[in-house]
Each structure stands twice: as C-alpha cells, then as structure tokens.
Structure 1
Amino acid sequence: MADGRVRQLIDTVAWVRIEAGRILCARPRGKDVFYIPGGKREGSETDAQTLVREIEEELTVELRLDTLSHVGTYEAVQPGHGTGDAAVVRMSCYTADYRGTLVASSEIDEIGWFRYADRALVPPVDQLLFDDLVHAGLLR
C-alpha cells in the first residue's frame, strides 16, 4: 500500500552468536543486506525446531539444544523495497552452543563478524538487538 500501512507480520527466529565482542551475521545469496542468522518457521515448528533447521541449512552446524537460551524478542517495521508496502518483523533471539565448523552454505553468500559500528548494515529489527547487546557490554 502506498500509504505505508503495515500489511503483514513476519515471524522469525535468530541465533545470536557473539565472539570477542562481535556478532555473527550472514548475507543470503542474492541479497545486499546482512542479517542475524535464522529464519521463518515452517508450519507448526517451535522456535527451537526452526532455529536448529535454519542454522544447519545456512551455516552447516548443529545447535546444542541443551544450551539454548532466549535473549529477547524484537519487533520493527521493515519498509517495503520499491513497493511502498511495509511489514512488521518479529525476531525471537536465542543463544546456543554448537557442534561443527561454521561454513556458509549454498544459501549464504557471505558471513561476517560485526561490531556495533556495523549496525547500519543490518535491518531495523537487528539494530534493536545490536542496541541491547552493546548496552549489556556484549557487543563492542
């Protein structure tokens, strides 16, 4: 809609992996924006099921569910790109340890470790997480 009203809710789950004051971000194939790794649930998946599936698909590692911990849930309006439509993106964020070696899969063009100074390179909902992490002293 050209008036900018919100048309839909996009419900996502994200994996917050912080090392040495930097957070793991991924740029999906064909996109020009980095995101916190994760994605949308399929059917009646739980947050944990969605997260495990998405992270294995994107980064080829297995999350350890016994270490899963909720960080927070964030919502922000994501502007429509060229359409004038907007959506609310809800991102439920979790930390968890993992098994394996982080490798970008065929779905991901690039992974990177971002500092707070890189905040402008991620979408609005991810920026809210960055703000909380820097205030908690976890992100540099």
Structure 2
Amino acid sequence: MTSSADTTPTRRIHVSAAVIHDEAGRLLLVRKTGTTAFMQPGGKPESGETGAETLRRELEEELGIRVDPPALRSLGVFTAAAANEPGFLVVADVFTVDIGEQEPEPRAEIEELRWIGRADADTLEIAPLARENFLPA
C-alpha cells in the first residue's frame, strides 16, 4: 500500500485474533507486559500454521484456554493500525471463539486481562483493531 506522498510500502504484521464475549456481552481484551493498550487475545503464526492453528496455540499459551476447532468461527481478515508498533498495520485473521465455562487467566507475556463493555472504552487505551471493529454496541 503506497500513497502519492510516500512510496514506502506499509509494513504489516500478520496475526490471528479472538473475539470472545462473556454472558453479559463484554469483550475479552488483554494487555501484554510492557505495553499500555488492551487488545484481543492472539498472536503471530509460527511457520506453517493456519490462522485457526495459530489462535488455538496462542489462547492456550496466553490464557490457559483450550479450544477445539469447532469452537472457532472465522469472521474474516481485518486491518488496522498496530497498537504497539508505530508505522505498522496489523492484518488479523479474526475468529469468534466459544470458550464455554473456561476461565481465562493471564500467562506468558500477558500482564492483565479485562472484560470490556462499551462504557469502558472511554477509560482504557484500546488497540485500533478492537476499538474500530469489535467493541460491544
């Protein structure tokens, strides 16, 4: 992607991201250690992984959540400014995820998790991908 004023291609980060809601309709967001923005759980693929495989691995590593393939439903590919890496776009394979009765807990590089409703959006720094596309109405 280039503009007439800038001939440098936009740098992209490819990830898989989860849309997980609780019974109250709130969206699960996480904040990684050393960062300030809350974002959807997920991460970057390892060599040869599909988007769904990446997300299943990341949810287990970051939140202790085990997800069977039928619990994932693709919402498509979404693009937004990267929250923690200026000058980059995040290109995300996004899936809704049914975690059943499992309780996510922060693990690995996750410092904090929160269930976010629309009213919380004004008081937290939320990554553009989540803010622009997935916050509850």
The question of whether the paired residues in 1 share the 8 Å contact of 2:35 and 2:84 is answered with no
Q: CA deviation at 1:27?
A: 0.7
TM-score by length of 2: 0.80
Partners of 1:64 and 1:97 within 8 A in 2: no
Match of residue 106, structure 2, among 104, 107, 111 = 104
The one-letter code matched in structure 1 to 2:120 is: D
* 1:1-140 matches, cutoff 5 A: 6-19=9-22, 20-78=24-82, 86-98=87-99, 100-119=102-121, 121-130=125-134, 139-140=136-137
Counterpart residue identity of residue 43, structure 1: S
In the alignment, the residues of structure 2 paired with residue 110 and residue 79 of structure 1 have an alpha-carbon distance, to the nearest angstrom, of 16
Match of 2:3 in 1: none
* CA positional deviation for 1:33: 1.2
User: How many residue pairs get matched?
Assistant: 128
- Give the number of the structure whose residues are more often helix, by fraction: 1
**Bigger Cα displacement from structure 2, 34-43 vs 63-72:** 63-72
Aligned sequence identity (%)? 33
What is the rounded CA distance, in whole Å, between the counterparts of 1:7 and 1:70 in structure 2?
A: 25
Richer in strand (by share): 1
Aligned to 1:136: none
Task: Give secondary structure in 1 for the equivalent of 2:82.
Answer: strand
- Residues 31-53 of structure 1 deviation map (CA, whole Å, 9 limit, x = unaligned): 11111000111112101110011
CA displacement, residues 98-133 of structure 1 (integer Å, 9 cap, x when unaligned)? 364311113211100111233462122222222xx5
RMSD: 2.4
Shift of 1:59: 0.2
Alignment TM-score, normalising by the size of structure 1? 0.78
Structure 1: which 5+ residue stretches go unaligned? 134-138
Give the Cα–Cα distance (whole angstroms) in 2 for the partners of residues 91 and 126 of structure 1: 11
